[in-house]
Structure 1
Amino acid sequence: MSELEFHTLLVQGVFLVAALTVPALLFIVAPYGRHAREGWGPQMDTRLAWMVMESPSVLWFLAVFFAGAWSLVPLLLLVLWQSHYIQRAFIFPLKIRPGGHTPVTVVAMGFVFNLVNAYVNARWIGEFGRYELSWLLDPRLWIGVGLFVLGYRINRRADAVLASLRKPGEKGYKIPRGGLYELISCPNYFGELLEWTGWAIATWSVAGLSFAVFTAANLVPRAVAHHKWYKQKFPEYPASRKAVIPFVL
């Protein structure tokens, strides 16, 4: 089996995992964050869990990318990817309220997926994909970049609103207000959906599409679970809000 055939097999595996993830998460809410509960084995500090789980998307991605025959356009794509994952792996965890715990099984599954996904996307843009300088004039690149940047800004803004809800020493949850929170319960997830849809368009690749599909399979059910949780916990929760896609879902 050639490496390209192996790569193709992994991409197909990501699609398969996405197809299995949707029904699984409709019946089982991943046990971390506000949905944390006992019965999932050993746990670790949530801040460290995020760093461990997301680190392959920074470090392994870089290693795989620079092992390829990369050029200018792939470098631009690299900047997009790393702008998200450096934030997600090493900055975002430091803003999480200390004291939380996440099951090691969840961390392990996330770590393995990110190893595969980082390899699949880094190897495609750095070696197997063909991104000549002419790609800089292709509208698909800039439509994708525009969507990614928009999603990134939405995601960061939503995270900032959540982080500001509690004053130092406060515990518990509050209803987030302002911006897209007036329309949906999870604008942070909506932002990520836009980011990786933009990535799929900018790379115009099956590898990028597989990640966009998996992101939707993972985040949409969790957003629905968050939305349901908010409505159960807060009787005054705005009835007009949707879960993750404004005016739709």
Structure 2
Amino acid sequence: MPEGAYRWFVFAELALAAVTFVALQFVVAPYGGRHGRSGWGPTVPARVGWIVMESPASIAFLLFYLLGPHRAEPVPLLFLMLWQAHYVQRAFVYPFLLRSRSRMPVIVMLLAILFNLLNAWVNARWISEYGDYPVSWLADPRFWIGVALFAAGYALNVGSDRILRRLRRTGTGYRIPQGGGFRFVSSPNYSGEIVEWFGWAIATWSVAGLAFALYTTANLAPRAMANHRWYRETFPDYPADRRALVPFVL
């Protein structure tokens, strides 16, 4: 594919980020759990939905990556490892740790598949074909800053999910999560994922990476605000100083 045509896919993702952000100001995405509700058509078990919708981000990314001429070079291979570290966990580990019996609308699952295919194409093709990452990139501060942010965001994301799972083991319904990032915000799992992908954008220093980071923010920030509102409405003793997404700010 000519690089000019590839740019249109990047622009499409940037446009999708804007559309998603606006849409989520009016609609809370019913992924299941506390925000699950009827009226969205057929549903599947949440575990099935997560596997089906997230697996293309891992599998398709690898296939697209292997099409590029730089696929065997050290820096692109490191980027491949970072990407797979997130999506193998998200698609093939996280769903099997879920204890919830909630269900996910099929339409939500299908929309997520379409986005993940677009995003996998945009980012995989950049790092293995259109981008230029000589070995000297490993000494660039942007690489190390980006990787450090990615690792910190990944740890926060996974650690926050672990805290939520522990709450559900009691079988006593929803409770206020405590500890870790929950000391500061209502959705540290979302905060961590946003940090991850801005780290990716810096490490790859690419518009493709930035498009994904902006889309992640457009998708997760409204959901974090919805979670925050739900906690405050559900629990009268919810910590007043806890923010939704950014400690002490938002």
TM-score interval w.r.t. the shorter chain?
over 0.9
**Aligned residue in 2 for 1:172:** 173
How far apart in 1 are the matches of 2:100 and 2:22? Answer: 32
**Structure 1 match to 2:105:** 103
Distance in 1 (alpha carbons) for counterparts of 2:6 and 2:48: 30
Q: Within 1, Cα distance between the matches of 2:172 and 2:121?
A: 39
1:165 is paired with a residue of what secondary structure?
A: helix
Once residues 99 and 194 of structure 1 are traced to their aligned partners in structure 2, the CA distance between those partners, rounded to angstroms, is 29
1:143-192 deviation digits (Å, cap 9, x = unpaired): 00000000001111101000000225x15211000121011000000100
Q: Distance in 2 between matches of 1:3 and 1:236?
A: 57
Contact 2:154-2:193 within 8 A present in 1 as well: yes
| Secondary structure at 1:237 match in 2 | coil
C-alpha contact (below 8 Å) 2:190/2:220 kept by paired residues: yes
In 2, the alpha carbon distance for the partners of 1:12 and 1:134 equals 29
* CA distance, structure 2, for counterparts of residue 133 and residue 230 of structure 1: 47
**Amino acid across the alignment from 1:142:** W
The equivalent residue for 1:18 is 17
Report percent identity of matched pairs: 53
Question: 1:117 deviation in Å?
Answer: 0.1
State the shift of 1:6 in Å.
2.4
- The aligned length equals 247
Determine if the alignment matches structure 1 residue 28 to structure 2 residue 27: yes
Output the CA distance in 2 between the equivalents of 1:114 and 1:179. 29
Pairwise CA distance, 1:99? 1.9
Q: How does 1:105-144 map to 2 (within 5 A)?
A: 105-144=107-146
CA contact (8 A) 2:99 2:168 kept: no
How does 1:1-249 map onto structure 2 within 5 Å? 2-33=1-32, 34-69=34-69, 70=71, 71-167=73-169, 170-249=171-250
> CA-to-partner distance for each residue in 1:195-244, whole Å, 9 max, x for gaps?
00000000000000000000000000000000000000111100100001
1:110-153 superposed Cα distances (whole Å, 9 cap, x missing partner): 00000000011000001110001110111100000000000001
Distance 1:165 1:98, change over 3 A: closer
Once structures 1 and 2 are overlaid, which stretch shifts more, 155-164 or 2-11? 2-11
Alpha-carbon distance between aligned partners in 1 of 2:5 and 2:37, rounded to the nearest angstrom: 38
What SS is found at the alignment partner of 2:24?
helix
d(CA) in 1 for partners of 2:53, 2:118: 12
Distance in 2 between residues matched to 1:107 and 1:5, nearest whole Å: 30
Letter of the 1:237 counterpart? Y
Q: Secondary structure at the match of 2:239?
A: coil
TM-score normalised according to structure 1 size: 0.97
Partners of 2:235 and 2:28 in 1: CA distance? 19
Q: Which runs of 5+ in 1 are unaligned?
A: none
Letter in 2 for 1:62: L
**C-alpha separation in 1, matches of 2:97 and 2:24:** 26
SS at match of 2:44: strand
Q: How well do the aligned residues superpose, as a CA RMSD in angstroms?
A: 0.9
SS in 1 for 2:237: coil
Instruction: Name the SS of the counterpart of 1:67 in structure 2.
Output: coil
Specify the SS of the correspondent of 1:102: strand
Distance 1:130 1:67 in 2: 15
Structure 1 runs of 4+ off > 2 angstroms? none
State the Cα distance separating 1:245 from its structure 2 match.
0.6
Say whether the 8 Å CA contact 2:146–2:199 is kept in structure 1.
Answer: yes
Separation (CA, whole Å) in 1 of partners of 2:230 and 2:192 = 20
Are residues 6 and 171 of structure 1, via their aligned partners in 2, closer, same or farther at CA, if it must alter by over 3 Å? farther
